[in-house]
Structure formats: structure tokens, C-alpha cells
């Protein structure tokens, strides 16, 4: 029957293909008369019947000079039904072209051996009860050492009752091409009803093997299918042996010891599939394996057990142009123990192509394992009229049956995702999403988004909208992690499902870099690492743990652990040597409310802990949209949820150029506490540490360090709005300096102001800097400064109260060349300002004015004396003299503060006391 081009569906309308008619091929089956009992070929209408051959036990041997089957013809091996294996070889120099049917009796396996090549046309099909192996090997090796060879056709020894053990290839194995897309139509024979049409191509019976093993393997729009059996595609170079092992599903091929392979190509919507209650196995082995133009390879376990899908490409596996490679679990089947395995040097998936491990049923999904010794490169997406489908690797849970998703494991040197490509374990139903494990010894690079900015390149373990299952965990181990231009790493929880844990270990560094101005991605933030519980979630959001030497967050990129639900928030822990947040980068944890949320009841935010052995630097600002955003390290709360604490442990903390470290609560929840332990803390050029709250008495700041310096308008501030009590500021440090309009303030509006308690050995304030605790309409807080117990005389050597005074001259000649005048002060106390001024040699320095009597005026202080702890007032620390004045009795008094401008001028207008020695 001649068919016109038609359009039809396969597998419940999931895949669309087009069928065309190929040109007919002349039938040519010619025996070569090399066997003890030669083959007998008889033509009967469209059937070429093959009788005879040489039998050895359950094996039957045929040998042909030429073997081809034209369109609509059938080559019928008329064997005895008890025959187990039919071995047919082609010894002439021609390629076998098969565009009709190959048929045999009973359950016999059929082996077709032609070293020159085999082509299956669009009308090629199989009607055999056993397995089918087409190969361009030179010979079939048997267990007893015999060979059935297509190149050495000796009559003896040739025939054996032994089991075949391998396929021996010659110098230049021929190619195998499959274009078969034969259809199967049910009894209604209604070509206009696409539901009655089933594409099968080359198909063997259930639980049997269909194998094409040769040089190059080309599946050009062809089909290879079986139900629950096994499909093998193998491409090897010359002089190699492929092992054969009999199994329940026919034959398993083994390529161990083979180092040289050839290429396999699936194109023009090629289709390789096995589907049954017990899913079949598919193995593809070659050098460069390429899927293009929507080609698909898949295994489906429908009710019992999923199969295994294995692709090994010694050099490259490439999936392009919407091609699919997947292993699916349906119904009550389980993928436990089954895998989709990729083993190659380099894996490329782009232009909407995908690797998939879907779970649609109650059983667990299969694991998806990728081992690429050099690199895994995923790029681009598939854009349709209504949606865009990203390129990537996916393990999905679909439907409400409750099956858990499989795990994705990627091991490589370099993992690269670009232009919206994804690796994702997610759940769309009641089952738990699988885990995602990435081990890249050198780098993981994520970059860019889809052209419409709706999908970011990224690694995801998520619960999709409407699903109720738990999120999976996400683990990354690499040397360097680079997240650029809107790409993301994310896990999220919804409904009753638990959030996942994100664990990242980068031995060298992590760079998160966004774009300025930042582009919003379908409602999400720019580049970053995100752990969240989405609106409606009632369970814990998850955890975030990052360990690396250097972590940089810049240009609007973000690390966040957010809770939009009512469960507990996600805790985030950063273990680094150096943390740098700059140009609008943000690192935070919070309890948040969406703009469209009608339910303002929120769970608490998580705790953010930074352990930085060397330094933490928070620097500058950035632009998001049209808004200036500070670089920040923060915890926050909106709605009713409380904010978590922010804990920083480091050697050096720097916050500068408008950046901030902040804890806040803008709703009815309480703010967390900000705690810093650092050897050195520098706030510079409007850098700030802040705590803000609207209710309660939280939002405290606790600082422990050796040196704390505020410069150029920097601030340490607690702010309490409305009736809230101001947060407290507690500072324990050796040296505290606030200079150039820098302030330490605890503020409140109607509630009581917070308290400031400072324990230090020295405080230095510029005249324009302040330490204040106040409330606009309520009770002011207190400022308390504690100095440590120091005995000023401990360890000092007493000097005489009155020292021997040398003879004094009435005047001094400091400019003489024979002797230099000197000023000598002997006794207790320090030194006054230097009296040695350049004068002429005749100048006389005399005290002509009476001494200025110092009144009770002293340099002003921002902290009242009454606020200093009275128990410590009797002992003060020894500090270096900063100035001196003359008391009412004429005694020089050294001070710890420079004199005021007026007093300083008065001192310079009076004569100075001088001892001038006449000794030389």
C-alpha cells in the first residue's frame, strides 16, 4: 500500500512526526554456496523465502553473496520452530539495503552480518520472535573458539553448536543506517484516525534485544522500539572485539578493553524507545554521539521497575535542537536501582535539548548520573508560541501520586550553564524532589538568562507552585564557583513541604556578580544564591551553608535565606577567609511579606552567621532599577515575623562608602541582635551599623574588638519607632575613636531610649562627633563608660619631688655656634611644648607677663561626668599627654586633651617658664 505524507501522534499524542515514502529498492538475495548445506532462496510474489542452510544443534547458519530487500517485500527465514539462533552472513562486497520486512519462525534470534554496511530504509521492519542483531563485524566468535566469518569463508571449521561470545571487527567496519519509520495500524485500518497509528520502525518482541553494532551508526529519522527489552547502539573502530552475553532480555554487549570508537548520530526526529511494565534497557556506545533535530531516546517503566539508559561517548555527547534523552517512571513502578547514566569526556546540551528523569506515579524516580571527565556545557532554551523550555538536566516529580524524585549527580572538571540553561530537581506534586549533587574539580560557571529574562541559568532543587512535596537538597563541591549576569542557585519550599539545604564548598573562591542596573527575572532577584519558603509554606525554609576562601557578592547580586511562609526561617552560615560585599551586593536572611499577600502572619527569619578568619568588607552602593541600594549584610523582618540574629566573627570588619550592616523589623515582629567580634572594626565614609525596630525592646548591637574606628560621617545606631524601646549598644574595646562627624546613638521616638555601655581603655571623639542615648518624646537612655582598673603608680620608679637646679643664666643665646642652649626639666611629670624657638644670637628670652590663672573651664565632653561609673573614678588609665596649662598657683599641668582654641591662644600669649643651662 502506497502512503501519502501524513501527520500523526505517538505515545498518547506526546510526540509529533511526519511520514514520507522512500524510493523502492530492488530485492537481491543471492546465496554464496560456502556452507555444507547451502541456503535456498525462492521468490513467491512479494516474499523471498529462505530455506536450507546448515544446522548445528539449535543454531542455523546462512551465507549470502548479496542480501537486500526492496520496498514492500519480505525476506522470510523458514526455519524450524525449535531453532534458537539464525546466523546469516554476507560475503560479497555490496551493502545490504533493507526496505522491506525480515521474518522468521518461532522465537529464533536473527543475526545479520555484513562488514560492508547495512541500510534500513523507511519501510524496513521486523517480524521475528527473538532478538535482532545487525552488525558490520567481520565475524561472530563462539565459545568453542570457532568463528562464523564473512571475510574468510572456509568450509571448515565453521559450524558450531556453541554460544556466540563476541563480534570481531576488521580494519574498516562499515556503517549502519536506520531510516525505518514503519507504522502499525489497529484493526479499524483508519488512516485518518491518528489514535490508531503506532510508529514502530524496527521493533522486536517484548523482552528481546534490538542491536545495531558497527562502524558509524546513523539513525536518520528512523525508529528502534521494544517493549521491556533491550536496545543496543554500538560504534567501534577497526580490529576490536565486542563481547556478547546471553541475558533474560536477549543479549548484553560489553565494550570493555576497547579504546577506539566511531561516531553515532541521531537526526531528523529519530526515535529510540523501550516501554513496558518493567522498563527496558538502552545502551549507546561511541566516540562522538550526537542528537539533533528533535531526536529522542527514552525508557519508560510503566508499573513495576524502570530500566537503565546508558550513553557512553569516549569523546563527546551532544544534544541539540530540542532533542530529548530520558528515563521515566510511571504508575506504581519504581526507579530504585535504575539510572540514566552519561559517561563521556565532554557533554554539550543546548538549544532546548534536555536530559530528563521524570517520576509520574507512586514509585521513586531513577537517578541521573553524569560523568564527564572534561566538561559539562548547557546552553540556551526552546522558545514556543506560549512558553520557553530551557536546555538542561532535570529530575522531576509530576502528579499527585506521591513518588519521590531521583537524584542528579554531576561529576566533571568544569560545569558551564549559559543563557537560561538549568540543572534542576523539582517536584510538581506530592512527592519529594530529588537531591542535586555537583562535583566539579575546577569550576562551576553559571551565566545569563533567556532572551525574555524569564528563566535564569542555574542550579535548582525546588517545589513548584501548587505542589506539596519536600524540596530536595543541593550540594556543590568545586574549586571556583562563578555566578554571573542574573544566574542563580536556589532551593524553595511550598505548602507543607520542607525546604531543602544548600551546601556549597569551593576550595578557592565564589564570585556572585549581577548586572547594574539589576534586571528583575520573572519577579525574582538578580544573580545569587537563594533558600526560601514561598507564600503558603508551613514548614521550615531550609538551610544555607557556604564554605570557601574568598566570597565576593557584587553588582546587585544577593545571598538570601528568606521565609515568606509561617514556618521557621532558613539559617545561613558563611565560613570564609574573606567576605567582600560591594557595589550593591547583599547578603541577608529574613521573614518577608509579598506585595500581594493578604495574610500578614509570618514565621520568624533565620539566623545569619559569618565566620571570616581574615576579613569582612562591605563597600559602596549600587542601582537596582532606579533605586540606589546600599551594599549590605543584614537580617530583616516584615509582617508579624521576628528577624533572626546577625553574628559576625572576623579579624577585620570594614564598612565604608555608604554600605551598612543592619538588623531590622518593619512590621509587628521584633528585630534581631547584631553581634560583632573583630580585632579591628572600621566604619568609614558613611559606613553604618544599625538596628531598627517598631515593637518590643530588641534590635541590640554588641561589639567586641581591640580597635573600633568611625570616620567621615559613619554611625553606630539603634532606632526604635513608635512605642518601641530603643535598642541597646554594648561596646567592649581597647580603643574607641569617633572622628569627623561620626556618631554612636541609641534613639527612640515614644518609647524609652536605648542604653549605651562602653568598656574601653581610651575614647577619642572629634568636636563634631557624639555619643547620645535619647528619646524624642519618651525617657532618654543612659550612656555609661567603664574604664578598667589601673593603678597609675604600679611599676613606676619614684623621682625626687625637688630636683637639683643648675645655675641659670638670665638669658640664653640659642643661636650661638660655640654652644647650644637647652631646656632641661627634672622631676615628676611629662614635658611641656617645645620652648626652643629660632631667635637671633642677641635675643633675650624673658617671662614678662604674669602667669594666666586657669579657671574651672575645661575641654568640653559629650558625656557628662556623672555618667561615668563612680566606682572607677578614683583610678584612670595612663595616657600620653596631649597638652599643658598653667594652674592658679603657676604650676604647669599636663592634660590628656589638647586645650581649647581660646585657652591655646592664651597660653601662647604668655611667657613660658624656661631653664637655660650655662653648662657646655
Asked if pLDDT for residue 518 goes beyond 60, the answer is no
CA distances from 700 to 504, 675, 717, 747 (A): 31, 8, 9, 12
Closest CA to 87 of 17, 162, 22: 162
**How far is residue 27's CA from residue 389's CA, in Å, rounded to a whole number?**
46
Domain of 30 in residue numbering reads as 6-254
Q: pLDDT, tens digit, for every residue of 562-589?
A: 888 787 888 999 999 999 999 999 999 9
**How far is residue 319's CA from residue 792's CA, in Å, rounded to a whole number?**
80
Q: pLDDT, tens digit, for every residue of 452-461?
A: 777 899 999 9
Closest CA to 656 of 629, 623, 683, 681: 683
- Over residues 353-377, mean pLDDT: 93
Instruction: Note the pLDDT of residue 386.
Output: 57
Q: Of 203, 230, 254, which residue sits at a domain end? A: 254
What's the distance, Cα to Cα, between the start and end of the chain in Å? 133
Name the pTM for this structure: 0.82
In b/e form, how buried is each residue of 650-662, taking b as 16+ CB within 10 angstroms? bbbbbbbbbbbbb
In terms of C-beta density within 10 A (0-12 exposed, 13-18 middle, 19 or more buried), how is residue 835 classed? middle
The C-alpha cell that represents 56 in the structure block: 548445528
CB atoms within 10 A of CB 493: 32
Is residue 135 one of the residues assigned to a domain?
yes
CA angle, residues 651, 655, 660, in degrees to nearest 5 = 125
Provide the CATH number for the domain around residue 179.
2.160.20
In this structure, the strands spanning 47-52 and 39-44 are: antiparallel
The C-alpha cell that represents 330 in the structure block: 510511571
The 125-127 sheet, strands edge to edge: 39-44, 47-52, 74-77, 101-104, 125-127
Contact 384, 355 (CB under 8 A): no
Q: pLDDT, tens digit, for every residue of 839-883?
A: 444 444 444 444 444 333 333 334 433 343 433 444 455 555 566
**How far is residue 529's CA from residue 558's CA, in Å, rounded to a whole number?**
7
Is residue 203 one of the residues assigned to a domain?
yes
- Over the chain, what is the mean pLDDT? 82
CA distances from 623 to 53, 447, 657, 672, 704 (A): 83, 20, 14, 27, 33
CA angle, residues 860, 861, 864, in degrees to nearest 5 = 120
**How far is residue 200's CA from residue 864's CA, in Å, rounded to a whole number?**
94
Q: pLDDT, tens digit, for every residue of 206-252?
A: 999 999 999 999 999 999 999 989 999 999 999 999 999 999 999 99
Our count of domains for the chain comes to: 2
DSSP assignments along 362-405, one per residue: SSPPPEEEEEEEEEEEEE-EEE-SS-EEE-EEEEEE-SSS-PPP
Least confident of 182-186, 472-476, 481-485: 182-186
Extended strands (E) in 599-659: 608-619, 621-624, 627-630, 632-637, 646-656
**How far is residue 215's CA from residue 137's CA, in Å, rounded to a whole number?**
8
The C-alpha cell that represents 783 in the structure block: 550612656
**How far is residue 342's CA from residue 317's CA, in Å, rounded to a whole number?**
8
- Over residues 494-512, mean pLDDT: 92
Q: What percent of the chain has pLDDT over 90?
A: 57
Confidence grade of residue 346 (pLDDT, cut at 50, 70, 90)? very high
DSSP bridge partners of 64: 31, 90
The C-alpha cell that represents 332 in the structure block: 506504581
Q: pLDDT, tens digit, for every residue of 536-562?
A: 777 788 899 999 999 999 999 999 998
**How far is residue 95's CA from residue 28's CA, in Å, rounded to a whole number?**
11
Radius of gyration of the chain (CA): 42
DSSP bridge partners of 230: 209, 281
DSSP 269: S
CA distances from 359 to 329, 365, 366, 398, 434 (A): 5, 5, 8, 6, 10
Contact 717, 688 (CB under 8 A): yes
Q: Of 254, 274, 299, which residue sits at a domain end? A: 254
Q: Which of 182-196, 214-228, 458-472 has the highest mean pLDDT?
A: 214-228
Is residue 758 one of the residues assigned to a domain?
no
In terms of C-beta density within 10 A (0-12 exposed, 13-18 middle, 19 or more buried), how is residue 919 classed? exposed
**How far is residue 918's CA from residue 220's CA, in Å, rounded to a whole number?**
114
Question: Which is higher by pLDDT, 748 or 283?
Answer: 283
Q: Of 226, 254, 282, which residue sits at a domain end? A: 254
The C-alpha cell that represents 9 in the structure block: 501522534
Length of the chain: 920
Is residue 197 one of the residues assigned to a domain?
yes
- Over residues 121-145, mean pLDDT: 96
Closest CA to 503 of 540, 532, 476, 531: 476
Contact 591, 584 (CB under 8 A): no
Question: Which is higher by pLDDT, 622 or 815?
Answer: 622
Least confident of 103-107, 189-193, 488-492, 591-595: 189-193
Least confident of 199-213, 274-288, 449-463, 603-617: 449-463
**How far is residue 241's CA from residue 165's CA, in Å, rounded to a whole number?**
10
Confidence grade of residue 99 (pLDDT, cut at 50, 70, 90)? very high
Is residue 246 one of the residues assigned to a domain?
yes
In this structure, the strands spanning 241-247 and 164-168 are: antiparallel
Q: What percent of the chain has pLDDT over 70?
A: 78
CA distances from 543 to 34, 103, 438, 482, 610 (A): 73, 61, 18, 21, 14
Task: Give 133-184 as a 3 state SS string.
Answer: EEECCCEEEECCCCEEECCCCCCCCCCCCCCEEEEECCCCCCCEEECCCCEE
Is residue 243 one of the residues assigned to a domain?
yes
Confidence grade of residue 193 (pLDDT, cut at 50, 70, 90)? very low
Q: pLDDT, tens digit, for every residue of 666-715?
A: 878 888 999 999 999 999 999 999 999 887 777 899 999 999 999 999 99
428: left (phi over 0), alpha (psi -120 to 50) or beta: alpha
Instruction: Note the pLDDT of residue 693.
Output: 87
DSSP 407: P
Rounded to an integer, what is the distance from CA 70 to the centroid of its chain? 55
DSSP 626: T
Confidence grade of residue 496 (pLDDT, cut at 50, 70, 90)? confident
Please state the φ and ψ torsions of residue 902, each to the nearest 5 degrees. -65, -45
Please state the φ and ψ torsions of residue 604, each to the nearest 5 degrees. -70, 155
In terms of C-beta density within 10 A (0-12 exposed, 13-18 middle, 19 or more buried), how is residue 764 classed? middle
* Close Cβ partners of 510 (under 8 Å, ≥ 6 residues apart): 480, 481, 482, 483, 504, 546, 548, 550, 551, 552
**How far is residue 498's CA from residue 501's CA, in Å, rounded to a whole number?**
10
- Over residues 158-164, mean pLDDT: 81
Instruction: Note the pLDDT of residue 637.
Output: 86
- Over residues 583-603, mean pLDDT: 77
Bond preceding residue 174 cis, omega within 30 of 0: no
Closest CA to 484 of 423, 529, 441, 543: 529
In this structure, the strands spanning 367-379 and 354-356 are: unpaired
Instruction: Note the pLDDT of residue 17.
Output: 36
Confidence grade of residue 21 (pLDDT, cut at 50, 70, 90)? very low
Is residue 304 one of the residues assigned to a domain?
no
State the DSSP H helix or E strand holding residue 503, giving kind and residue range, or none if neither. strand 501-513
Q: pLDDT, tens digit, for every residue of 317-329?
A: 999 999 999 999 8
**How far is residue 698's CA from residue 881's CA, in Å, rounded to a whole number?**
41
Least confident of 136-145, 377-386, 411-420: 377-386
Residue 797: half-sphere exposure toward Cβ, Cα within 13 Å: 2
Q: Which of 119-133, 519-533, 816-830 has the highest mean pLDDT?
A: 119-133
Confidence grade of residue 593 (pLDDT, cut at 50, 70, 90)? confident
DSSP bridge partners of 687: none
Amino acid at each position: 500500500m502506497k502512503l501519502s505524507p501524513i501527520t500523526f501522534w505517538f505515545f498518547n499524542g506526546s510526540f509529533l512526526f511526519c511520514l514520507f515514502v522512500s524510493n523502492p529498492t530492488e530485492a537481491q538475495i543471492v546465496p554464496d554456496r560456502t556452507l555444507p548445506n547451502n541456503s535456498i532462496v525462492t521468490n513467491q510474489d512479494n516474499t523471498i523465502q529462505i530455506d536450507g542452510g546448515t544446522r548445528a544443534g539449535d543454531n542455523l547458519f546462512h551465507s549470502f553473496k548479496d542480501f537486500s530487500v526492496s520496498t514492500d517485500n519480505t525476506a522470510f527465514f523458514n526455519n524450524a520452530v525449535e531453532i534458537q539462533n539464525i546466523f546469516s552472513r554476507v560475503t560479497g562486497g555490496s551493502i545490504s539495503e533493507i526496505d522491506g520486512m525480515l521474518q522468521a519462525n518461532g522465537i529464533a534470534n536473527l543475526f545479520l552480518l555484513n562488514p560492508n554496511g547495512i541500510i534500513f530504509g523507511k519501510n524496513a521492519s521486523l517480524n521475528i520472535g527473538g532478538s535482532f542483531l545487525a552488525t558490520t563485524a567481520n565475524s561472530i566468535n563462539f565459545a568453542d573458539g570457532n568463528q562464523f566469518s564473512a571475510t574468510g569463508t572456509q568450509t571448515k571449521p565453521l559450524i558450531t553448536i556453541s554460544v556466540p561470545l563476541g563480534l570481531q571487527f576488521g580494519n574498516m567496519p562499515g556503517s549502519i543506517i536506520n531510516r525505518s519509520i514503519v507504522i502499525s495500524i489497529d484493526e479499524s485500518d483508519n488512516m485518518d484516525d491518528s489514535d490508531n497509528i503506532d510508529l514502530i520502525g524496527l521493533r522486536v518482541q517484548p523482552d528481546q534485544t534490538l542491536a545495531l553494532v558497527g562502524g558509524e551508526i546513523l539513525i536518520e529519522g528512523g525508529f528502534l522500539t521494544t517493549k521491556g527489552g533491550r536496545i543496543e547502539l554500538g560504534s567501534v573502530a577497526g580490529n576490536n572485539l565486542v563481547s556478547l552475553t546471553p541475558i533474560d532480555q536477549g543479549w548484553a554487549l560489553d565494550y570493555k578493553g576497547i579504546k577506539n570508537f566511531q561516531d553515532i548520530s541521531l537526526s531528523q526526529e529519530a526515535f529510540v524507545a523501550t516501554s513496558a511494565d518493567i522498563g527496558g534497557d538502552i545502551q549507546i556506545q561511541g566516540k562522538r554521539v550526537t542528537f539533533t533535530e528533535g531526536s529522542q531516546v527514552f525508557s519508560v517503566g510503566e508499573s513495576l521497575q524502570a530500566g537503565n539508559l546508558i550513553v557512553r561517548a569516549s569523546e563527546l555527547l551532544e544534544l541539540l535542537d530540542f532533542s530529548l534523552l530520558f528515563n521515566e517512571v510511571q504508575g506504581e513502578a519504581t526507579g530504585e536501582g535504575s539510572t540514566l547514566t552519561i559517561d563521556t569526556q565532554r557533554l554539550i546540551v543546548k538549544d532546548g535539548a534536555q536530559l530528563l528523569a521524570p517520576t509520574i506515579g507512586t514509585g521513586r524516580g531513577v537517578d541521573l548520573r553524569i560523568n564527564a571527565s572534561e566538561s559539562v556545557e548547557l546552553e540556551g532554551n526552546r522558545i514556543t508560541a506560549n512558553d520557553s523550555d530551557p536546555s538542561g538536566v532535570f529530575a522531576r516529580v509530576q502528579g499527585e501520586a506521591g513518588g519521590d524524585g531521583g537524584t542528579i549527580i554531576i561529576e566533571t572538571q568544569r560545569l558551564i550553564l549559559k543563557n537560561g540553561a538549568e540543572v534542576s530537581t523539582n517536584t510538581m506534586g506530592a512527592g519529594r524532589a530529588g537531591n542535586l549533587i555537583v562535583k566539579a574539580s575546577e569550576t562551576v560557571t553559571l551565566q545569563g538568562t533567556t532572551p525574555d529574562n524569564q528563566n535564569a541559568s542555574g542550579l535548582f532543587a525546588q517545589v513548584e507552585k501548587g505542589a506539596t512535596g519536600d524540596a530536595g537538597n543541593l550540594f556543590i563541591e568545586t574549586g571556583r564557583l562563578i555566578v554571573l549576569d542574573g544566574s542563580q542557585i536556589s532551593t524553595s519550599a511550598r505548602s507543607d513541604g520542607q525546604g531543602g539545604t544548600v551546601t556549597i564548598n569551593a576550595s578557592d573562591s565564589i564570585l556572585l556578580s549581577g548586572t547594574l542596573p539589576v534586571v528583575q527575572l520573572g519577579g525574582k532577584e538578580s544573580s545569587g544564591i537563594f533558600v526560601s519558603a514561598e507564600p503558603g509554606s508551613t514548614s521550615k525554609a531550609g538551610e544555607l551553608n557556604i564554605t570557601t576562601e574568598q566570597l565576593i557578592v557584587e553588582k546587585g547580586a544577593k545571598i538570601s535565606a528568606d521565609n515568606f511562609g509561617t514556618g521557621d526561617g532558613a539559617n545561613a552560615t558563611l565560613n570564609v577567609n574573606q567576605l567582600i560585599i560591594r557595589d550593591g551586593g547583599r547578603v541577608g536572611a529574613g521573614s518577608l511579606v509579598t506585595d500581594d499577600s493578604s495574610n500578614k502572619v509570618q514565621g520568624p527569619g533565620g539566623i545569619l552567621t559569618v565566620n571570616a578568619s581574615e576579613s569582612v568588607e562591605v563597600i559602596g552602593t549600587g542601582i537596582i532599577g532606579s533605586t540606589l541600594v546600599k551594599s549590605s549584610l543584614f537580617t530583616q523582618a516584615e509582617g508579624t515575623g521576628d528577624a533572626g540574629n546577625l553574628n559576625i566573627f572576623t579579624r577585620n570588619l570594614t564598612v565604608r562608602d555608604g554600605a551598612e550592616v543592619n538588623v531590622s523589623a518593619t512590621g509587628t515582629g521584633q528585630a534581631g541582635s547584631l553581634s560583632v567580634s573583630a580585632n579591628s572594626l572600621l566604619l568609614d565614609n558613611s559606613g553604618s551599623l544599625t538596628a531598627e525596630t517598631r515593637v518590643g525592646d530588641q534590635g541590640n548591637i554588641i561589639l567586641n574588638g581591640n580597635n573600633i574606628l568611625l570616620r567621615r560621617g559613619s554611625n553606630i545606631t539603634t532606632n526604635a519607632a513608635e512605642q518601641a524601646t530603643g535598642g541597646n549598644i554594648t561596646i567592649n574595646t581597647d580603643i574607641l575613636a569617633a572622628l569627623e562627624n561620626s556618631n554612636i546613638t541609641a534613639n527612640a521616638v515614644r518609647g524609652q531610649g536605648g542604653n549605651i555601655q562602653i568598656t574601653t581603655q581610651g575614647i577619642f571623639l572629634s568636636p563634631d562627633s557624639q555619643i547620645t542615648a535619647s528619646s524624642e518624646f519618651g525617657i532618654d537612655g543612659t550612656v555609661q563608660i567603664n574604664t578598667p582598673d589601673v593603678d597609675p603608680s604600679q611599676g613606676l620608679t619614684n623621682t625626687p619631688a625637688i630636683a637639683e637646679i643648675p645655675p641659670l643664666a638670665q638669658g640664653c643665646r640659642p643661636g650661638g655656634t660655640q654652644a647650644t642652649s637647652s631646656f632641661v626639666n627634672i622631676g615628676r611629670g611629662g614635658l611641656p611644648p617645645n620652648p626652643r624657638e629660632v631667635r637671633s644670637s642677641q635675643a633675650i628670652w624673658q617671662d614678662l607677663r604674669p602667669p594666666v590663672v586657669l579657671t574651672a573651664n575645661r575641654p568640653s565632653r559629650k558625656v557628662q561626668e556623672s555618667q561615668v561609673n563612680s566606682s572607677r573614678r578614683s583610678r584612670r588609665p595612663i595616657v600620653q599627654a596631649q597638652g599643658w596649662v598653667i594652674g592658679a598657683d603657676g604650676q604647669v599641668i599636663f592634660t590628656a586633651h589638647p586645650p581649647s582654641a581660646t585657652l591655646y591662644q592664651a597660653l601662647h600669649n604668655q611667657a613660658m617658664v624656661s631653664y637655660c643651662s650655662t653648662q657646655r
